[in-house]
Amino acid sequence: MNYPEIASRMFNTPLMLHPGKAETIGRAFGPRVLGLPEAGSEQMGLIGETIREAKDGWGNKVYNGVRRASDGIGLIEIEGSLVNKGSFIGKSCGVTSYEGIGIQADDCRLDDSIRGVILEIDSFGGEVTGAFDCAEKIFELSTAKPTIAVLTDHACSAGYLLAAAARMIVIPSTGVCGSIGVVSMHVDVSGWLKKEGLAVTILKAGAHKADLNPYEAIPEDVLSRELSELEEMRVEFAETVARYRAGRLTTEAALATEAGVYRGMKAVEAGLADAVQRPSQVLAAFEAALGPAA
């Protein structure tokens, strides 16, 4: 496992992630990330859509085109934690990459044989980096063709951002969505170091060069600045969702949720979703709404 890579994506960086999921990740990986295991993790760049040429360990192409839910209906699966620059399509080791989602959205939009698209979403969220660009690709698809986000069962934080970009959101009665907010975690190991008889001297050039380092508590001015930046991201999140769900959810209403989550019909009543329906019934209803193929 590439724990340094995981740590860089977990701590001291803004996340659009449900806090319960953040706590689970922190408990699972927190004790491990102080070690020095081997490095090495392939990522894909954004420019040039290099993921189209990516190959797996056996030399097979990673991406072979958009999956179909049925004739004329594309299917994009958005599951697990959402990460930036992943070199894979669909879920891999519990994560889905924004690049994989975005390239499928682009291809669905440009493929004339695809009349509509289902986004199957079960995600508590993930990284801020890459999320808004990915959501815009889905929104561009939604302006061109009918799209529907089917929650099976969660669309929280960044997962909800992507769902909101669809024309319609369907949630099961037990499903949960929302968490329109941003969270960041900081590890202060200074107490542990003192207990172990260790002292870390930070040498820096530039007053803010070592901000958020794990060897000391966060200074008040740095904490204030970071909280202000997180709030700016939350406002952008709310404004973006309101733009996607024009007439159904305002920026003010999105902010008023205070990053809370809503279940089933309560999500519909709050304007976060459009209907409560069993996920297994959506395909037939979507096909009927689209009508016969030309």
Residue 263: exposure state from Cβ atoms within 10 A (0-12, 13-18, ≥19): middle
Cα 38 to the center of its chain, rounded Å: 27
Which single residue is written with the structure tokens 């590439």? 2
Catalytic residue among 55, 194, 209, 280: 209
Query: Is 209 in the active site?
Result: yes
Q: Are 128 and 182 in contact (CB under 8 A)?
A: yes
Q: How far apart are CA 68 and CA 263, in angstroms?
A: 29
Cα 155 to the center of its chain, rounded Å: 9
What's the one-letter identity of residue 116?
G
Write the Ramachandran bin of 197: left for phi over 0, alpha for psi from -120 to 50, otherwise beta.
left
Catalytic residue among 123, 142, 157, 184: 157
Q: How far apart are CA 227 and CA 231, in angstroms?
A: 6
210-232: string of b/e by CB count within 10 Å (b at 16+)? Answer: ebbbbeeebeeebeeebeeebee
* 258: Cβ contacts below 8 Å, ≥ 6 apart: 181
Could you tell me whether strands 116-127 and 15-17 are parallel, antiparallel, or unpaired per DSSP bridges? Answer: antiparallel
CB atoms within 10 A of CB 201: 5
Which single residue is written with the structure tokens 């934080």? 157
Catalytic residues: 157, 209
